[in-house]
A and B are shown apart, each in its own frame.
Chain A
Amino acid sequence: MTPALTVRGLTVDYRGAAVLDDVDLDVAAGEVLVVLGGSGSGKSTVLRAVLGLVPAPGRVRAARLALAGGRGPIDLADPRARRRARGDRIGLVFQDPVLALTPLRRVGSLVREAGADRSGVEPLLAASGFGRPAAVVDRRAFTLSGGMAQRVGFVLAVAGGPDVLLADEPTTALDGPARVELVDRLRERAAAGTAVVLVTHDVGVAAALADRVLVLDGGRVVESGPTARVLGAPAHPTTRALVRDVPWALPPRRRAPAKGPAVVRVRGLTKAHPGAGAVLDGLDLDVAEGEVVGVAGRSGDGKTTLLRCLLGLERPDAGELRLGGVDPAAEGWAAVRRVVQLVPQDPRGSLNPWRTAAQQVADPLDFHRIGDRAARRVRAMELLDAFGLGGLAGRRPTELSTGQCQRVAIARALAVRPRVLLADEPASALDVTRQAELIELLTAVVAEHGTSALVVSHDLHVLERLCDRVAVLAEGRIVEDLPVGRLRADAAHERTRALLAAHPTDPLAAATA
């Protein structure tokens, strides 16, 4: 069988620094190839190079970059031929669906521009999961929710009827059920004869979808072959690490249920957003002393709003809060922040690029005027040492790796010796190896410092490893609240079951059996 896409000797460098080194790759029509790799492995660059969209100083060389198919061969090394192939012969699904849509354009106009004729727009939207496509056609892209944007992004990628469909980490920003939906869509496309190349660090998605897997590390292909062989019996250390570090393979957290007094007490929390109606609708939640509680839920179910209310960044419409023994309504948010700290979703983005690691860690101490200047410096250095960052105190975020930024952000959160840590999707932006590190780190921090934690995430696998108890947020309330050990057996609510179905105990088992 002739491959739909052939890549030979693909090499990309930025001012001499190689990002991809001599990569070969083939996909046949109807086949799904998953390119697996961690952050910085060069996997996204493969897709950009195929489309000729490697940004400015990047230099692309290849012995062969070619498309084949019913509409004739195309040499992708020729810029003009390549430009005609974009959208028409090759479609691309992006990682962040919201950012990948021109904000002020209407959905229908974008879909038509991508190659659909006027009568084809609504059927395409319907096929991508919109129950009432007519209602979406005239909406501007910036008004779409994340889930809707993802569906529209998929429609734009396939509207031209491409022979090859590329997908760049398309599941990373999605919650479990949305991920399952997208995997189904990609599978349908492959069944219809499209060649699919999916780039991801998510071994679970690879196992669910791939016919073949190709593993990249440091810009080189280190392993490739049929899915069952590569994921079931990985030969290369990189592949072994990717398979070993998946969250569902990490040791589960099993502890006696905490019986201490509640350090977080939320009663009847209600918050409506303009145009969106009630986001939180009488939510009750407790976190006991020393307990780690996970709040699971789908995107748009109010997880972020809950966290913003608990941080005092949004004013609830109604409800009572007591955080770390402090009532923010009576004693003010500054008093709350003295005992409640945030572990951010994007650690690098949460750090001030102009300040050193030591200054960032000492910042909360300065703000709350805890100790004198010398004592604050000592405390910051102690924390950095404890997190293995002792030699990096004078570095700024741009001189630190993402993993190091993560540890600086956690050290900063611990500086005031908080009673409660709030974590916002702490693992979802990280590749599996970083995720495993983070889970280990947070578990150790909570145990050592005796803090409680409330972790908000759509990733049930991560919550299962991190938490004592998982609460499921749906329609503005907690609909399920179970100790983690009983979650899979005793879940009663349909929303919990849907989340569990999207996070099977071992996603690899099916593919590698």
Chain B
Amino acid sequence: MLRPAAVVGARALAGTLAVLLVASVLVFGLVRSAPGDPVDVQLGEAGGVGLSRSDIDRIRTERRVELGLDRPLPEQYVRWLGRMVTGDWGTSYVSGRSVRAEVLDRVPASLVLAVSGFAVAVVLAVGLALLASRRPGGPTDQVVRLATLATVAVPSFLLGTLALQVATAATGYRIAGPATAGRIWLPALVLGVAVTPTLSRVLRASLIAERGRLYAVAAQARGASAGRTLLRHVLRPALAPALTLGGLAFASLVTGSVITEAVFSWPGVGRYAVDAISAQDYPVVQAYVVLATALVVLVNRGVDLVQRLVDPRGDARAEAVA
């Protein structure tokens, strides 16, 4: 029987919540089991001032009580989860500012960069895949294949640095400043180019496979040109694998592209998170990872939805099996 949309929606929501809960336990456990102690890290610099050993021990104990680190782990977890849900993400051990404010300051910049980078990747990947699959093994296909392989082989910091050099010389591109529209195009381009090869390779393979099917031959027998066959018949059924992969790529872009953000000094969450990890800034790390998990789960749900819109056959098949 076809289930009503409300039931499907409720199940999806329950599933999402369950995934998030499990993820929060894992995140909490993972961060706490990492070697090192945040209090030690914080006291590392103060220790140089010349405090006596007993002073350090006293300060450490006070600080641990203050941060709630003396409590049993399950209690710490529940208190932390409750605060996360109510929007109190704690204060950074390092800066002393509200984690929520710090993270939310940086999320928009990351989101904008991810969306633009992904848009670049989609345009490039679809275009290259269509070009390459017109004649598999032909000269265009070979050139595209080499170019995508070369791009995969170049580390992204090198790609970013190179692009920055060229852009600075050619257009007077300025790296300094806030996240503005005037300077997003370069990091977006670099991110997009880095994601393009896998997407275009997968789409090319799937286009070629679909084009070998009888319906594509039938379209040509009715007079459709090679280009029309690709665009109007083959492209849509061929999108499914690329959509799945694209969703994963988009999720990883959203959660921050550390290297690109560093190269272009882009004020996103990626760099912020890496700094927090080296400083053992638990509240920041935990908030970041939970937020990232939530984003990944949400993006995946979104991709599922897009998938259903683009290719409703999957629904019919799943229902028939169930």
Contacts and interface: CB of A to CB of B under 8 A. Distances in A.
B143 interface: no
Interface in B1-18: 1-2
Interface in B190-221: 213-221
A102 B222 contact: no
Contacts of A100: 214-215, 217-218
B237 interface: yes
Q: Which of A100, A114, A153, A156 has the most CB of B within 10 A?
A: A100
B220 A53 contact: yes
Contacts of A51: 221
B58 interface: no
Given A86-B221, A274-B1, A99 B214 contact: yes
Nearest to B239: A104
Nearest to A141: B215
A100 B217 CA distance: 8
Interface stretch (B75-83, B166-174, B285-293, B313-321): B313-321
A274 B320 contact: yes
B276 interface: no
Interface string A49-78: 001010000000000000000000000000
A494 to B, nearest CB: 30
A248 interface: no
Contact of A99 (B213, B233, B236): B213
Nearest to B235: A104
A53 B217 contact: yes
A43 to B, nearest CB: 16
Interface in B216-252: 216-225, 232-233, 236-237
A86 B220 contact: yes
Given A86-B220, A104-B311, A142-B316, 5 more contacts: A51-B221, A87-B222, A100-B214, A100-B217, A273-B320
Nearest to A84: B223
Nearest to A94: B218
Complex A-B, nearest 10 residue pairs according to Cβ-Cβ distance, in ascending order: A87-B223, A87-B222, A86-B223, A100-B218, A99-B214, A92-B221, A102-B233, A102-B215, A274-B319, A114-B222
Given A83-B225, A274-B2, A104 B218 contact: no
Q: Which of B218, B237, B311, B312 has the most CB of A within 10 A?
A: B218
Given A87-B223, A100-B218, A274-B319, A113 B312 contact: no
Contacts of B1: 274
15 contacts: A83-B223, A84-B223, A87-B221, A87-B223, A87-B224, A99-B214, A99-B215, A102-B215, A102-B232, A103-B313, A104-B313, A113-B224, A143-B316, A156-B222, A274-B2
A160 interface: yes
Nearest to B223: A87
Contacts of A115: 222-223
A104 B236 contact: yes
A160 B225 contact: no
Q: Which of A86, A91, A104, A159 has the most CB of B within 10 A?
A: A104
A123 to B, nearest CB: 19
A377 interface: no
Contacts of B313: 103-104, 142
Nearest to B228: A113
A379 interface: no
B222 A113 contact: yes
A403 B233 CA distance: 35
B233 A94 contact: no
B223 A105 contact: no
Contact of A102 (B237, B311, B319, B320): B237
Contacts of B319: 274-275
B2 A275 contact: yes
A94 B214 CA distance: 9
A105 B320 CA distance: 21
Given A99-B214, A274-B320, A140 B221 contact: no
Contacts of A114: 222-223
A101 interface: yes
A102 B219 contact: yes
B10 to A, nearest CB: 19
A277 B216 CA distance: 32
Contacts of B225: 83
Nearest to A104: B236
Contacts of B236: 104
A484 B283 CA distance: 81
A88 B220 CA distance: 12
A160 B319 CA distance: 37
